[in-house]
Amino acid sequence: MGAVTARFRAVKGTRDLWPHDSERFAAVERVAREVFSSYGYGEIRTPILESTELFAHSVGQMTDIVHKEMYTFLDRKGRSLTLRPENTAGVARALIERGPQNLTKPLRLWYAGEQFRYERPQAGRYREFRQIGAELFGVASPAADAELLRMLFEFLSRLGFAALTVALNAMPTGDAREAFAEKLREHVRPHAEKLGPDDRRRVEENPLRLFDSRDPETRKVLEKAPTTLECLDDESRAHHEGLKKLLEDTGIDYVERPSLVRGLDYYTKTVFEVTSHALGAQDALLGGGRYDSLIFGLGGLPLAAVGFAIGEDRLIEAMSADGRDQRKARRVFFVLPGSTEEFGYALSVARMVRAALPDAVVETDLTGQGFLKGVMRASYAEQDPDYPFDVAGKWVQIVFLGPEERKRETVEIKSSATREQTTVPLQKLGQWLQDLKQ
Ligand code: AMP
């Protein structure tokens, strides 16, 4: 039989997560929920679709994201909609709609979900990817940035990331930001003819975005450019110094990186990024910062805010590269009826096993093809890299039941690790399984 060619394929840059992978995503999200909720964060789920205008007004018209990476289309009534390229804008929109004055502050929210960007797909870069993020609203002091980073590092260390460093920068705000932009223009203008058309436009319209450029010529010109840290206003400087002190107090390793501006317009004061060497070229694991003007800029009341977004796909790739796995180790039981005659008995036995060991995976062989086929299937659990679950210590138990067992109301249980086989009367099965637990 020749290979079947699929007529329909996943859209370029998107992928299917089969159980083996989605279990890893679920496991990471479970840890996120545990850690974030222990800091008082509640989960928010915002729509994947938002109005296109929202992103133009928040992420910024001149950013790569808005300029060339959005999935934008007109709906049947001619409204321009966009598949969200990031989640902060949606959370901010939700907050304004609800009325921040109606919410207790500080307000702590986290999310996990799909984002869409029309980028060139490559390792660690997809057109549909997932981000896990958190946002803290209503606290202007650097204590908020520090607590957020503390929580982030706790999450990462729970996932086994030990020695991570956060790259930190600060952005000037208000008039100082405009003054910085002007200094940057003055520095770049004499070299403008060497730059590509996009970057040339940026020089005049939004020079900070030049730092996002991947063009080597632009990067060279920026090497000697003025830095944000040299141009900070007093308030931003005090915030930055305060944050550095708090990070030292709370034991978070940071390095100052003055070229870090991040590809979104809404950041004020703090910006940060964490990279992982395990990821190679696409090494940014996460990014974040403060965005004190965003809510006001979108038509809400002024509200201080700070947040981060982790690339969940990259996080999981970095963990796999290090051979780490957050999936919960599971005991696996294969319940094998000798023939179709024992199906009913097998279903009851399986139910008893699940009741005694709620964490176990209990698979009943439904083919009725007998013990041998069932044993072969069971051995997959230990060898098949696609098996969804992490089999605890390679612990598979095979439960045989044929006509004799059904008549006598017993089962034969064989451990695939020790090869030991035991006859267990149904009445004692629950207890026997409980004892196994210890
Ligand atoms: P950003 O929203 O651009 O600040 O990105 C935050 C994080 O999301 C990055 O550090 C990446 O880990 C992840 N990310 C951004 N774009 C992609 C993409 N196209 N594919 C996979 N992960 C991405």
pLDDT digits (tens, 9 = 90+) for 81-116: 999 999 999 999 999 999 988 888 899 999 999 999
Measure the CA–CA gap between 166 and 158, rounded to whole angstroms. 17
Per-residue confidence (pLDDT) for residue 157, from 0 to 100? 93
Measure the CA–CA gap between 32 and 30, rounded to whole angstroms. 5
In this predicted structure, the answer to whether residue 323 has a pLDDT above a threshold of 90 is: no
Per-residue confidence (pLDDT) for residue 282, from 0 to 100? 65
Confidence of residue 398 (pLDDT cuts 50, 70, 90): very high
Single-letter amino acid, residue 396: V
> Ligand 1: does its nearest atom lie under 6 Å from the Cβ of 345?
no
Residue 118 CA to ligand 1 center (angstroms) comes to 12
Q: What share of the chain is helix, strand, coil (3-state, %, to 5)?
A: 45, 25, 35
Q: Which residue has the higher pLDDT, 26 or 437?
A: 26
Q: Whose CA is nearest to atom 12 of ligand 1?
A: 311
Buried b (16+ CB within 10 A) or exposed e, 329-338: ebbbbbbbbb
Residue 263 CA to ligand 1 center (angstroms) comes to 10
Q: What is the mean pLDDT of the chain?
A: 92
Task: Among 51-55, 273-277, 352-356, name the one with the lowest average pLDDT.
Answer: 273-277
> Ligand 1: does its nearest atom lie under 6 Å from the Cβ of 15?
no
Check if the beta carbon of residue 334 is closer than 8 Å to that of residue 374: yes
Of 165, 168, 189, the residue nearest 267 (C-alpha): 168
Best of 314, 315, 316, 319 for a ligand 1 pocket test (most atoms within 8 Å of beta carbon):
314
Residue 311 CA to ligand 1 center (angstroms) comes to 5
Best of 125, 270, 283 for a ligand 1 pocket test (most atoms within 8 Å of beta carbon):
125
Residue 107 CA to ligand 1 center (angstroms) comes to 24
Summarize pLDDT for 52-75 with one digit per residue, the tens. 999 999 888 888 899 899 999 999
**What's the pTM?**
0.91
> Ligand 1: does its nearest atom lie under 6 Å from the Cβ of 244?
no
Any residues with CB less than 8 A from the CB of 213 and at least 6 apart, and which? 198, 199, 202, 219, 222
